[in-house]
Chain A
Amino acid sequence: MNGKGPEDARAPAVPPPLEWKFSQVFGERAAGEEVQEVDIISAIEFDKSGDHLATGDRGGRVVLFERTDVRDHGCRRDLESLDYPISRHPEFRYKTEFQSHEPEFDYLKSLEIEEKINKIRWCQMANGALFLLSTNDKTIKFWKVQEKKVKRISKMNLDPSQAAANGSIASSSTASPRVCLPNGGCSYNYMSNDFSFPPGGFPSLRLPAVASQETSLVARCRRIYAHAHDYHINSISNNSDGETFISADDLRINLWNLEISNQSFNIVDVKPANMEDLTEVITSAEFHPNRCNTLAYSSSKGSIRLIDLRQSALCDNHSQLFEEAPGSRSFFTEIIASISDIKFGQDGRHILSRDYMTLKLWDINMDSGPVATFQVHEYLRPQLCDLYESDSIFDKFECCLSGDGLRVATGSYSNLFRVFGCVAGSTEAATLEASKNPMRRQGQNPARPARSLSSLTRVVRRGAETSGIDANGNSYDFTTKLLHLAWHPTENSIACAAANSLYMYYA
């Protein structure tokens, strides 16, 4: 399988399994290198075209990458129709980075606000400038990243040093702006009254000339949407109308206009009158990719609700509810049912949800149950007690769908991530490791419990560089978890975060 043509994407037949190859790594850790907490990646997002990729980290930074391989669609299509193998796959390079959020302290509530970036969402590009939203627990920011000319002024009327030395006039001009601005009445004013301008102007005056045409990338924060969330923001999502977006915290979802930062509308509020009655919180929310009035949110009880913004201003009543009755009940049933992430497929018909043990694919036309369920790491089920003790059971794994909707992916522990084919009849289920050798087969370690999993067609051994844990017989490492990953919108390419490193794979 090479690249992929959008033409065959809708083919009803089960596509052959993908063979994943390592593409790139950014911020690879040297052996034995300590990971700095602030460098750990906490959000990954491709833009709509797939030409840009953004990551956010716990230190409040946003790093942007841009695609370098030539993207000439006409040419590509020709090649594809000739059935030539295309060796090209998306390759990215570092573009720029900026500090999006800083640690803050809320003095009214005596609360520290972490700078960690929870989510990044790309907005419509305009004039060659990139726009994106980034959020930490409380504050959403709207960023514009743009090439700016570096100004180097060559010709001026006055020598700056001379002007500075030239007492009264020069100093009045530099000191005056504040005086001038409010009413325009300032030292310059006399020019228009007492001064007669010759019809041809003064030939000795000239405009400053800009010498250098170098450009540099500048990120500017254009708007800050703050003070609208009492709880931690877990999601932001753009509407297809291009002018609004939502932000969701544990109990509320707010609707914003991108251009208005001082007001938002609360559209969902699940806060009970008495907080002791609280049984369920919002864990994730996303707008439908093309229906402007539909959004979905997931809850800690494992349900997904679809709401229709047209019905009423306050959408406390869902229009559709998706949930699955749990089979056997145990102490952990409710905890592991909590959905950590939902994503709409690009077609807008499917919703992918991730709970602790499974990935579920839902058809929005069928609310009786998921159309497919994928076990992500069933071999951990006996360990739930340990996972609970170490709080790992509350880890929030993200999930993603391929652009063509044929496959889904999500992360697990030991820096593993899994890719499943979701076309009916597909048995594709790959386990990959976020390392330079993702498909390294595991043969030497027969004691591994994963082997018992029938759905695992390929089993992967953890990389040799972290093999220290193998020795004590515990073959999964709960501290190295792969929470964040994203699928390229048009190609089979996955970006995933292992601690501070960004790994990219293609098939």
Chain B
Amino acid sequence: MAMIDEPLYPIAILIDELKNEDIQLRLNSIRRLSTIARALGEERTRKELIPFLSENNDDDDEVLLAMAEELGVFIPYVGGVEYANVLLPPLETLCTVEETFVRDKAVESLCRIGAQMKKNDLVDWFIPLVKRLAACEWFTGRVSSCGLFHIAYPSAPDQLKVELRSIYGQLCQDDMPTVRRAAASNLGKFAATVEQSYLKTEIMPIFDDLTQDDQDSVRLLAVESCAALGKLLAPLDCVAHILPVIVNFSRVLLDKSWRVRYMVANQLYELCEAVGPEPTRADLVPAYVRLLRDNEAEVRIAAAGKVTKFCRILNPQLPIQHILPCLKELSSDSSQHVRSALASVIMGMAPILGKDATIEQLLPIFLSLLKDEFPDVRLNIISKLDQINQVIGIDLLSQSLLPAIMELAEDRHWRVRLAIIEYIPLLASQLGVGFFDEKLGALCMQWLEDKVFSIRDAAANNLKHLAEEFGPEWAMQHIIPQVPDKISNPHYLYRMTILHAISLLAHVMGIDITCQKLLPVVIASSKDRVPNIKFNVAKVLQSLVPILDQSVVENMIRPCLVELSEDPDVDVRYFANQALQACDQVMVSS
């Protein structure tokens, strides 16, 4: 047994625990790997610690993940960039494990290290590693290799570049769909490093193959790289090579897989910039229109969700001519999810189309969505009200808005009611005091007596937000007068909600109103017959102590609390005493 100096004990333990039975201890040691490395010194880290870690490849995934992460920032501990290559072997092993998240982390760390390595070292160490992984017996290594080419390629001499491109081509034709998927999803990154001249001659054929793969999952990842490749190619080449592919994908007859079309619907707008305005008008707009009318609801959902992003790139005439008619159809789509997706983005169309087109074309769509039978659709429209308000003002909508709000406010599902309450402050700010008072004021009070606690709770908070929005004067007129009436509700749970609302309002109403109007109500409630109300009174009073004048505290609050502190109920006494202590503290501090 080695003799260890006293101060080294913690490190010695840390090192020993690299092999502890307890996974938590091993994890802990791995996370402190840099400390261990510093204690061992750079040379022993290179010669002992790193080989030791390379051996440790059958540990639990959590440990391997931590190791992969630590090794990515380990260059300083092995003696700087010139020694970075010693870090490659353990990470190479980690690139072959079965757990995807460990492999991904190892690839990420390898990329980080590779990005710092000198060109010569990359050629001597990194590129051979990529080649070994790409030729690995198990698919796991081959999958990992796909994510490393973009680091390896730029430093390779011409001869090696030829080889790397051809290896990548082979990976795209691997027997395992998993490998082809990895190759397809990394294609954009790799292509960005390949010389322009080879893009067309070598990368595009690979891309074409991938877009015709048997496996749907491979094809749809190829779609994902369309936009990335499109940005690399000159617009003309993009029109020649990428555009036909994506346009074909959007046709049901040519690609039966809805998942591929779904991907196209999500990606299409990114391609518009790459191909330029004319091909966009001629090809992409019709393709997009097809997707908006796809017979699979999922595709329409994706397409509808991107409509604002897509139209923003076009000149305003195109959407009015081609897209708007589709949106009209979608607003009465058979799938509620499509309508809901549409409702969540369609308000964004208003600024794009301008005032006239919005009033003429969009308004009817808004109105029909506002009357939708599915609450989510209506909610989505209401949640984006500010966007349309900027363009045409809210007056045109208010007639339809009100019934929609009323209906949502009384919806059977409390989650829907909750959602609309959360939009009330937004509505209040957009609609203005006048409209609000007339139509919505009563609703806000009504929610305080909802059957569901969450709604009552939200309603109390809502009152506070409204008081903030419209000011104490308004609250004085519209909220406060109703409080005495509400607090006499026969059910104690509703009385409790009012107490809660009062405690929230007190903080925004200012001292005077609180003392004159709110405090008496609270004090009166201390005579309630239900103990739960009484100790809540104590709690509310406690919360009021810091914001009120000391004289008020002494004259009104303290006597009430003293009385409560002698209550037969133990909880009431407890909270009353808590509040009394708070009073004492304020006394002392002032």
Chain B residue with Cβ nearest A126: B98
A52 to B257, CA, bound (A): 35
Contacts of B9 in A (CB 8 A): 158, 166, 169-170
Q: Is B511 an interface residue (CB 8 A)?
A: no
Say which residue of A162, A173, A291 sits within 8 Å of B10 (CB atoms): A173
B58 touching A180, Cβ below 8 Å? no
B48 touches A207 (CB 8 A): yes
Q: How far is the CA of A150 from the CA of B198 in the complex (A)?
A: 51
Q: Given that A310-B256, A310-B258 are known contacts, is A157 also in contact with B44, CB under 8 Å in the complex?
A: no
User: Which B residues touch A308, using CB under 8 A?
Assistant: 256
Taking a contact as CB atoms closer than 8 A, the residue among A166, A205, A291 that contacts B15 in the complex is A205
Q: CB-nearest residue of chain A relative to B13?
A: A173
Does any Cβ of A come within 8 Å of B160's Cβ?
no
Name the CB-closest residue of A to B10. A188
Q: Among the listed stretches B20-28, B442-450, B538-546, which one makes contact with chain A, having 4 or more residues with CB under 8 Å of it?
A: B20-28
Residues of B within 8 A of A178 (CB): 24
Contact A170 B19 (CB under 8 A): no
- Which residues from 195 to 210 on chain A have a C-beta closer than 8 Å to any C-beta of chain B? 195, 197-202, 204-208, 210
User: A157 near B39 (CB under 8 angstroms)?
Assistant: no
A266 within 8 Å of B (CB atoms): no
Given A149-B58, A157-B4, A313-B296, are A241 and B177 neighbors across the interface (CB < 8 Å)? yes
Q: Which residues of A contact B5 (CB under 8 A)?
A: 204
Q: Indicate whether A148 sits within 8 Å of B58 (C-beta atoms), given known contacts A124-B139, A181-B28, A207-B18.
A: yes
Question: Total interface residues on A, using CB and 8 Å?
Answer: 64
Q: Does chain A have a CB within 8 A of B32? A: yes
Overall SS of chain A's interface: loop
Neighbouring A residues of B297 by C-beta, 8 Å: 312-313
Closest to A314 in B: B297
How does the 8 Å CB contact mask read for B124-157 relative to A, with 1 for contact and 0 for none?
A: 0000000000000011100000000000000000
Residue of A nearest to B37 (CB): A201
Q: Is B426's beta carbon under 8 Å from chain A? A: no
**1/0 per position for B201-225, CB-CB distance to A under 8 A?**
0000000000000111100000000
Question: Is B215's CB under 8 angstroms from A204's CB?
Answer: no
A131 to B17 alpha-carbon distance, docked (Å) = 30
Produce 1/0 per residue, A148-164, CB < 8 A to B: 11010100111100110
- A157 pairs with B16, CB closer than 8 A: yes
A205 to B8, CA, bound (A): 8
Distance, CA A188 to CA B17, complexed state (A): 13
A127, A170, A177, A201: the one within 8 Å of B98 (CB): A127
Structural contact, B28 and A192, CB atoms closer than 8 A = no
CA distance A169 to B7 in the complex (A): 10
Residue B282 at the chain A interface, CB threshold 8 Å: no
Quote the shortest CB–CB distance from A126 to chain B (angstroms).
Answer: 4
How far does the alpha carbon of A242 sit from the alpha carbon of B97 in the complex, in Å?
16
Residues of A within 8 A of B453 (CB): none
A241 touches B15 (CB 8 A): no
A75: Cβ under 8 A from any B Cβ:
no
- B49 in contact (CB, < 8 A): yes
Q: How large is the interface on B (under 10, 10 to 19, 20 to 34, 35 or more residues)?
A: 35 or more
* Contact pattern, B 25-44, Cβ under 8 Å of A = 1, otherwise 0: 10110011001001111111
B27: chain A residues at CB < 8 Å are 177, 181
Within 8 A of A (CB), among B78-107: 96-100
| Nearest chain A residue, comparing its CB with the CB of B17 | A173
Contact at A127–B28, with CB atoms within 8 Å? no
Docked CA distance A353–B12 (Å): 65
A208, B19: Cβ atoms closer than 8 Å: yes
Counting CB contacts under 8 A, is A311 at the interface?
yes
- Of the residues A131, A158, A184, contact of B13 by C-beta under 8 Å: A158
Given contacts A158-B12, A188-B10, A207-B15, contact A293 B177 (CB under 8 A): no
A501 located at the interface, meaning its Cβ lies under 8 Å from any Cβ of chain B in the complex:
no
Nearest chain B CB to A165's CB is how many angstroms away? 13
**Does A191 belong to the interface (CB within 8 Å)?**
yes
A406 near B: Cβ within 8 Å?
no
For residue A109, give the distance in angstroms from its CB to the closest CB of chain B: 24
A 3-30 contacts with B by CB, 8 A: none
A195 and B7 form a contact (CB under 8 A): yes
Determine whether the beta carbon of A169 is less than 8 Å from that of B40: no
> Are B13 and A157 closer than 8 Å at their CB atoms?
yes
Q: How far is the CA of A191 from the CA of B40 in the complex (A)?
A: 13
The residues of B with any CB-CB pair to A shorter than 8 Å are 1-5, 7-19, 22, 24-25, 27-28, 31-32, 35, 38-45, 48-49, 52, 55, 58, 96-100, 138-140, 176-178, 181, 214-217, 255-259, 295-298
Q: Which 7 A-B pairs have the closest CB atoms?
A: A201-B41, A157-B12, A310-B257, A310-B256, A126-B98, A201-B40, A173-B13
Give me 15 A-to-B residue pairs in the complex whose CB atoms sit less than 8 angstroms apart, sorted by A's number.
A124-B139, A126-B139, A127-B96, A151-B19, A170-B13, A173-B10, A178-B24, A192-B38, A200-B43, A201-B40, A204-B4, A207-B49, A241-B215, A241-B216, A311-B256
19 extra interchain contacts, Cβ-Cβ under 8 A, other than A126-B139, A127-B140, A201-B42?
Answer: A157-B4, A158-B1, A163-B16, A170-B13, A191-B10, A191-B11, A191-B35, A197-B38, A199-B41, A204-B3, A207-B49, A208-B19, A241-B178, A241-B217, A243-B177, A243-B178, A293-B256, A293-B257, A312-B298
Show the binding face of A for B, using Cβ within 8 Å.
124, 126-129, 131, 144, 146-149, 151, 153, 156-159, 162-163, 166, 169-170, 173-174, 176-178, 180-181, 184, 187-188, 191-192, 195, 197-202, 204-208, 210, 222, 240-244, 259, 290-293, 308-313
